[in-house]
C-alpha cells in the first residue's frame, strides 16, 4: 500500500469486475471520491468479514459485530462504520467540507434509517436473487432469516410488495420536501454536503436492485425529478 493510500473494504457484486452496491459502502466510496482521496478496494464476501476484521478492530455493539465499510488508514489504523469514517476523514482532510454540522445531515440520517427499516421486506429477499455472489448466499439467507424471524420467501410474500412500499413512501416524500427547500440540486442548494452522499447511497442501491425497484421508488417520491437531479449532481463522485 502506498504511504498515502487508504484501503476500503467492500462487499462484491459480480466477478469481473466487482462493483459496489450496498448503501453503507457507497457512502464511504462517494466520500473518498468527493475528497479526492487515494484508495483501493478490497472485496470481502459476507462469510469472510469477521475473520478479516476481527484481528484489527473492536467489534460493533449489537448483533453485527463486524461490518462493511471498514477502512485501513495509511498509518494502519482500521475504522469501521460509515459515519465514524466520515468523521475521521473530515478531520484529516477538511476541504472540501462535508458540512457534517448541517441540519440536513441529521434529518437525512434519520430518514435513511426509517427508509431502510421499511424497505426490509423488499430488499432482503431481492439481494440474494439479484446481487450476491454464490459465496455469500448461504450467509445472507441464514443471518437475515434469523433477523426477520421467518424465511425470505415468507417475508416477501407476507410483508413485501405494495404493503412495504406504502411504508417506504412517507420517507421518500420527506426527502423530496427537503430537496425542494433550497431549490436543489443539493439539500443545501448549490453546496454539496455529506447529506447528499448519504441519500444518494439509497438511490444507487435502488438502481442496483433493478429498474423496477428504482422506478417504484421514484413514482412514490412525489417528485422524481429532484432525486434524478441529485443523482446527476453527485455523478462526478461515482
CATH code for the domain in which residue 66 is found: 3.40.30.10
Together in a domain, 179 and 158:
yes
pLDDT at 1: 43
Are 6 and 75 within 8 A, CB to CB?
no
Domain, as residue range, for 153: 103-237
- Give 3-state DSSP helix, strand, coil % of the chain, rounded to 5: 60, 10, 30
Together in a domain, 48 and 165:
no
What CATH number is given to the structural domain containing 127? 1.20.1050.10
Grid cell in block for residue 20: 459496489
Q: What are phi and psi of 186, to 5 degrees?
A: -95, 170
Together in a domain, 109 and 220:
yes
Together in a domain, 165 and 137:
yes
Last residue within a domain, chosen from 37, 57, 92:
92
- If residue 165 lies in a helix (H) or strand (E), which one and from where to where? helix 161-181
Last residue within a domain, chosen from 92, 126, 146:
92
pLDDT at 63: 82
185-212 pLDDT per residue, tens: 999 999 999 999 999 999 999 999 999 9
Strand-strand pairing, 39-43 and 6-10 = parallel
Q: Is residue 183 part of a domain?
A: yes
Name the domain count of the chain: 2
Together in a domain, 226 and 142:
yes
Together in a domain, 151 and 203:
yes
Q: Is residue 97 part of a domain?
A: no
Together in a domain, 148 and 221:
yes
- CB atoms under 10 Å from CB of 133, counted, come to 16
Together in a domain, 78 and 124:
no
Please compute, for residue 211, the number of CA atoms within 13 A of its CA located in the half-sphere on the CB side: 0
**Low-confidence residues in the chain, pLDDT < 70:** 1-2, 16
Together in a domain, 86 and 112:
no
Together in a domain, 183 and 233:
yes
Q: How far apart are CA 205 and CA 138, in angstroms?
A: 21
Q: How far apart are CA 77 and CA 20, in angstroms?
A: 23
Last residue within a domain, chosen from 65, 92, 119:
92
Q: Is residue 19 part of a domain?
A: yes
Q: For residue 74, which of 89, 60, 84 has the smallest C-alpha distance?
A: 89
pLDDT at 14: 82
Together in a domain, 86 and 136:
no
Amino acid at each position: 500500500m502506498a504511504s498515502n493510500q487508504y484501503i476500503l473494504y467492500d462487499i462484491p457484486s459480480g466477478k469481473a469486475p466487482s462493483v459496489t452496491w450496498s448503501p453503507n459502502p457507497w457512502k464511504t466510496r462517494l466520500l473518498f471520491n468527493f475528497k479526492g482521496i487515494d484508495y483501493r478496494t478490497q472485496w470481502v464476501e459476507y462469510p469472510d468479514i469477521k475473520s478479516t476484521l476481527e484481528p484489527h478492530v473492536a467489534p460493533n455493539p449489537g448483533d453485527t459485530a463486524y461490518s462493511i465499510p471498514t477502512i485501513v488508514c495509511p498509518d494502519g489504523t482500521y475504522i469501521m462504520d460509515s459515519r465514524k469514517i466520515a468523521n475521521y476523514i473530515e478531520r484529516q482532510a477538511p476541504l472540501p467540507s462535508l458540512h457534517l454540522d448541517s441540519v440536513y445531515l441529521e434529518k437525512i440520517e434519520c430518514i435513511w434509517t426509517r427508509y431502510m427499516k421499511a424497505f426490509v421486506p423488499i430488499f432482503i429477499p431481492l439481494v440474494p436473487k439479484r446481487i450476491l455472489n454464490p459465496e455469500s448466499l448461504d450467509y445472507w439467507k441464514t443471518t437475515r432469516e434469523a433477523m426477520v424471524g421467518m424465511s425470505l420467501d415468507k417475508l416477501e410474500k407476507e410483508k413485501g410488495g405494495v404493503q412495504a412500499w406504502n411504508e417506504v413512501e412517507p420517507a421518500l416524500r420527506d426527502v423530496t420536501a427537503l430537496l425542494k427547500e433550497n431549490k436543489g440540486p443539493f439539500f443545501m442548494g448549490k453546496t454539496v454536503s455529506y447529506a447528499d452522499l448519504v441519500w444518494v447511497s439509497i438511490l444507487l442501491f435502488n438502481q442496483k436492485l433493478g429498474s423496477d425497484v428504482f422506478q417504484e421508488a421514484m413514482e412514490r417520491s412525489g417528485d422524481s425529478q429532484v432525486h434524478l437531479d441529485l443523482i446527476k449532481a453527485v455523478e462526478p463522485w461515482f
